[in-house]
Structure 1
Amino acid sequence: MNVAIDMGATTGSAHAMLDLEELLATRLLVQGNSGSGKSHLLRRLLEQSAPWVQQCIIDPEGDFVTLADKFGHVVVDAARTENELTRIAGRIRQHRVSVVLNLEGLDVEQQMRAAAAFLGGMFDADRDYWYPVLVVVDEAQLFAPSVAGEVSDEARKLSLGAMTNLMCRGRKRGLAGVIATQRLAKLAKNVAAEASNFLMGRTFLDIDMARAADLLGMEKRQAEQFRDLARGHFIALGPALSRRPLPVTIGDVETSARSTSPKLTPLPQASADAHDLIFTAAPEEARMPIRRPPPPAPTPTADILAQLSRPRPEAEAVPQSLFPEIDEAERDAQIDAIMVELLGDPDASFRSVAVLYQDFLVRCRIRRVPGEAPALPAFKRKLAVARVGLDRETAASSAWQQALALSESLADDIQGVFLVLAQAAVTAAPCPSDATLARLYGTHSASRARRLLTYFEERGLVVVRLDFRNNRVVAFPDLGCETSPGDPAGPDAMIEERPAAE
């Protein structure tokens, strides 16, 4: 289907027609200094083509949101997460809705990240939704800069990659890029070079005029005409516009931008109390944030060198503490003795960790243990180790020390189960039953105990197997040992009272 868009008038009052189908295949680059009429041109193109093709506008200043009232565009506020913008872009392609991505209010780096996420979502849409979309990017030099600026390298790479995909690989996915820039010198060359249609407006800098003339195939001496172009006047070239450079005057538009060019207005009449108006604070100013004071002046180099050359003052003697120093070894021995005493209670294995911790704190106060008592996570760790009840020789072995290191990667509530299994493997004891593991885990469900073994096995900590008598054996590859066969359905092995460590 052939659709011709009326962009305005050419020399001799003839209509300047733009072939929309050809534009979708060959893309468009618009260049002109600030005030040359680029936004007016883009608005004319969007209004004329709105009934024929889906549109997506990347709008850094919020100028194109007014299209929503007249043509039904959906305004997408970019103040969202990058994942949200990517998913929204995918749904836009699926449902073929024209949108305006409003980047107003974000700083430059946030605008680059948001635009990259949005364009990436449109680019990565499923093949079933590769319908034609006119993607208009205003101020394209912000999203595809030719050199690194003040933004981070990561944000620049993301934005530049998305713009490159749009202009270089977007055609097969139905994405037709229309990019507008104030200066060609600030726009990445690999992005600008993919456009086959050009509309060049008023330009003053020599480097931009020379590059514009080169893109239009004009001689350098003809580049001077770009300085004389009036607002809204452009030189057009390309398969969708004209085979030769053609002056075009952009026609009128139906909508207007929220921000307009400044107009001269007469000053108000001088008030008699102008002095009071300026130097008297209004009530609402009390709620305004206070401006921070300027940073202090830098220290002169001579003063810094003088400070460095001064002799270092002698360190003051540390005053002797009024409180006696805590013997850490004695304190740890007291805490270990309390843990043994706590677990010596026959009902200790059936109490919750919270109840045991309260009992532990009371016993610490009764024994007058110096310093602060261990916090709950540290208590859980000590409880898990104390429940194993190893002798000194086994506790000092390298295999047990490695088991302790492996248990630190697990949650507090399952470290005790893991250490009991490791103790059985290190000492070649029978594998504990499901009932025993369930009680250590604080439950009566044997299936939960079996799921816990599966969790250990999925993390690569253990290998569980059954022998020919259906007894369970748990091997620890990192420790190089395994338990003796044990009946999974056996009774709960009650923890007997352990003697204090020698």
Structure 2
Amino acid sequence: MKAGIDMGTTSEGTTALLDLEELLATRLLVQGNSGSGKSHLLRRLLEQSASWVQQAIIDPEGDFVTMADRFGHLVVDASQSENDLQRIAARVRQHRASVVLNLEGLDIEGQMRCAAAFLGGLFDADRDYWYPMLVVVDEAQLFAPAAAGEVSDEARKLSLGAMTNLMCRGRKRGLAGVIATQRLAKLAKNVAAEASNFLMGRTFLDIDMARAADLLGMERRQAEVFRDLERGRFVALGPALSRRPLPLRIGEVETSARSSSPKLMPLPEAGGDEIRDLIFEPAEPGYVRTPRPRVTPAPTTADIMAQLARPRPAEPAAEPAPEMSPEERGALMDEILRDILRDPDAAFASVAVLYQDFLVRCRIRRVSGEAMSLPTFRRRLAVARAGAQPGRSDEAWTKAVAFAAELEEDIQAVFLLIARAALSGEPCPGDDVIARAFGSRSPARARRIIAYMESRGIVVCRTDLRGQRIVALPDLGCETAPGDAAAKAPTAAGGSPGAENPASPDLFALG
């Protein structure tokens, strides 16, 4: 169905028709200086299309609330919370009601936040309610500024993001943006660039005239025409209006704004002493003057830099932790690491996560002395993941730990796990146990690690007559007993084999 909206008359005296169906697909941008007739144009468009399409008006000055009396628009007071505005916007789309969001009385930042919340509610409506809607935003440069102003960055990002969604992605959701601005230079380019229809009114600044001429495909020398336009006259271009720049005069409207341009009136005849008495008349008894709220100016960059350079007051020193002997400190850190590894998920956590957890626990337990470095923690974590010290001499185990320190960090725990089994004469660990020591749940990953270590000459693998795996460690001169490679890891609590063995040595006395 094709609907032609009567916007007024062209310079040739014919009716200027706006294709509403095409407008819903291509959006509209209106520009004109204050007093050029932008609000009158928007009102004409809204009145003529009120019976055809659902409408939502973002009204920063409260001029369009009079639409409610004549056309039944609901007036939404922006004094409500942002969550309420989002909920109301969703219900507006659901029930196809035309609304006016009245932002009058709010400061600029409040208007931006409320408009962003309301537009977000319209945009995020369920797919079942994506009915066609005309979304008119007056003074769009307030909600999509080209540069940062005096408002907070958060409010600006919220508002600009909502306006960008409206103009860039709103078409598929049935939202057709109609934005009006006093100056194109003040409007964010990514918002203005999405409009395909333009109505350009009176403009005086050269930069705005040049940009308007570029948008309409006119030559720069023709841009002077925008300076000579009368109030209510615009130049139209776009698939919904005209394929060539078309001057037109906007027609009359049925409703009027609550505020209008001030009219000249004669001054009162009273003068001299009479007017002086009226001005300086004493206040009535009991009159209390309401103090005007003081607006604190935003700090400048120089103020912020000076504040950062100012020395901070000395904080009271924290009570130092009691000094510990090396044996006490090692035993406490040993206990902390074992507590960490008792968590079943610790075997699969990254070293960085475990290190941060270890440092926090050390502060909680008031471990004195300098914090352990990350490389040292990596080596000792590998020792802990290998389990309890084997039953052979400390010299053999110390040699194994020293050899492991020369290997890559991610295979140290696997090497020590196999070395512990070899020095103790235990069966070779299964793929599931080796994968856990590596920090993985994949047995195939364990087999690749063993193959990599064998290619480096670190280990030598063989199988016995029953098909069980034996891993030899040439540098240590020992090998494991035969073990089933498919054996599953024990499900008992603990992050590594031997973590619950109270007879295990001090982990931090090694490596």
Paired position in structure 1 for 2:126:
126
Structure 1 counterpart of 2:155: 155
Aligned position for 2:95: 95
d(CA) in 2 for partners of 1:181, 1:292:
30
Alignment match, 1:9: 9
Partner SS state of residue 243, structure 1: strand
Match runs of 1:416-435 below 5 Å = none
Q: Deviations over 1:274-310 (max 9, x none)?
A: 2221112443993331358999xxxxxxxxxxxxxxx
Give the Cα separation in 2 of the matches to 1:282 and 1:239. Answer: 63
Match runs of 1:378-457 below 5 Å: none
User: 1:48-71 CA distances to partner (integer Å, 9 max, x unpaired)?
Assistant: 000000000000010000100000
Name 2:35's counterpart in structure 1: 35
State how far apart, in whole Å, the 1-side matches of 2:226 and 2:280 are.
48
Q: Aligned partner of 1:213: which letter?
A: A
1:178 and 1:241 map into 2 onto residues whose CA distance is: 14
Match of 2:49, as an amino acid? S
SS at match of 2:287: helix
Structure 1: distance between partners of 2:231 and 2:87: 39
Change (3 A) 1:294 1:250: closer
Mapped pair 1:178 → 2:194: no
> How far does the alpha carbon of each residue in 1:364-422 deviate from its partner, in whole angstroms, 9 at most, with x for none?
xxxxxxxxxxxxxxxxxxxxxxxxxxxxxxxxx9889979969xxxxxxxxxxxxxxxx
Distance 1:215 1:403, change over 3 A: closer
How far off is 1:84 after superposition?
1.1
Provide the rounded CA distance (Å) in 2 between the counterparts of 1:293 and 1:152.
19
2:56 match: 56
2:306 aligns with none
The residue number in structure 1 matching 2:279 is: 278
Task: Kindly report structure 1 stretches of 4+ aligned residues shifted beyond 2 Å.
Answer: 281-288, 290-295, 397-406
Distance 1:121 1:262, change over 3 A: same
Letter matched to residue 275 of structure 1: R
Q: What corresponds to 2:116 in structure 1?
A: 116
Residue 191 of structure 1 aligns to a residue whose secondary structure is helix
How far 1:270 moved relative to its partner? 1.2
Q: 1:153 to 1:402 in 2, by over 3 A?
A: closer
The aligned counterpart of 2:288 is 287
State the alpha-carbon separation in 1 of the partners of residues 167 and 294 from structure 2: 47
Aligned to 2:436: none
Per the alignment, in what secondary structure is the counterpart of residue 144 of structure 1?
Answer: coil
Distance change >3 Å, CA 476–CA 59, structure 1 → 2: farther
Q: 1:35 to 1:285 in 2, by over 3 A?
A: farther
What code does the residue aligned with 2:267 have?
L
Q: Distance in 2 between matches of 1:165 and 1:290?
A: 42
> Which amino acid in the other structure matches residue 286 of structure 1?
Y
1:291/1:57 Cα in 2 relative to 1: closer, same or farther (>3 Å)? closer
Cα deviation digits, residues 328-369 of structure 1 (max 9, x gap) = xxxxxxxxxxxxxxxxxxxxxxxxxxxxxxxxxxxxxxxxxx
Shift of 1:248: 0.7
- Who is 1:208 aligned against? 208
1:252 is the counterpart of 2:244: no
Is the deviation greater in 147-156 or in 254-263?
A: 147-156
User: In the aligned structure 1, how far is the partner of 2:285 from the partner of 2:22?
Assistant: 56
Gaps of 5+ in 2: 297-333, 340-359, 366-492, 501-511
Name the structure 1 match of 2:198: 198
Give the deviation of 1:165 after TM superposition. Answer: 0.6
For 1:249, the aligned partner's letter is: R
1:419-473 CA deviation, whole Å, 9 max, x = no partner?
xxxxxxxxxxxxxxxxxxxxxxxxxxxxxxxxxxxxxxxxxxxxxxxxxxxxxxx
Aligned residue for 2:243?
Answer: 243
- Which residue identity lines up with residue 278 of structure 2 in the other structure? L
Q: Which amino acid aligns with 1:134?
A: L
1:302-381 to 2 correspondence within 5 Å? none
With structure 1 as the length reference, what TM-score do the two structures score?
A: 0.59
Change (3 A) 1:284 1:10: farther
Match of 1:165 in 2: 165
SS in 2 for 1:287: coil
Distance 2:282 2:245 in 1: 59
CA distance in structure 2 between the aligned counterparts of 1:74 and 1:99, rounded to whole angstroms: 4
Q: Cα offset for 1:117?
A: 0.8
Percent identity over paired residues: 76
Deviations 1:160-209 (A, max 9, x none): 11111101110010000000000000111111111111000000000000
Question: Partner of 1:74 in structure 2?
Answer: 74
- The count of corresponding residues between Structure 1 and Structure 2 is 317
CA distance in 2, matches of 1:248, 1:123: 33
Structure 1, gaps ≥5 residues long: 296-396, 407-474, 482-502
What SS does structure 2 have at the residue aligned with 1:177?
strand
Instruction: Look up the match of 1:371.
Output: none
Task: Report the Cα distance in structure 1 between the residues aligned to 2:225 and 2:219, rounded to whole angstroms.
Answer: 11
TM-score by length of 2: 0.58
RMSD value, Cα: 3.1
Q: Secondary structure at the match of 2:180?
A: strand
Partner of 1:226: 226
3-state SS, counterpart of residue 69 of structure 2: helix
Secondary structure of the residue aligned to 2:57 is strand
Distance in 2, matches of 1:270 and 1:24, equals: 57
**Distance of 1:230 and 1:292 partners within structure 2:** 41
- Structure 1 residues 147 and 292, CA gap change in structure 2 (3 angstroms): closer
